[in-house]
Amino acid sequence: MKQFFRDISPRRAVKDFLEVWRGENRHRWLVLGVAVALTGSLLALFLPEGGRADPRPPEITWVTTFAESRTAADIIASNCANQRLKDALQARIEEREELRKDLYAALGRATFVDVDEMEAEARAEEERAAVEAAAARPDNLPEMATMTVEEYCAQATQGAAG
pLDDT value at residue 160: 59
* Nearest in space to 160 (alpha carbons), one of 79, 81, 75, 82: 75
**CA–CA gap between residue 76 and residue 154 (Å, rounded):** 10
Residue 149 · residue 83 · CB < 8 Å:
yes
Mean pLDDT by 10 residues, the chain (162 residues): 74 82 81 88 80 85 82 88 94 96 93 92 94 82 75 77 54
| pLDDT 10s digits, 65-102 | 888 888 888 888 899 999 999 999 999 999 999 999 99
How would you class 80 by CB atoms within 10 Å of its CB: exposed for 0-12, middle for 13-18, buried for 19 or more?
middle
pLDDT value at residue 93: 97
**CA–CA gap between residue 31 and residue 13 (Å, rounded):** 17
Residue 37 · residue 117 · CB < 8 Å:
no
**CA–CA gap between residue 79 and residue 17 (Å, rounded):** 80
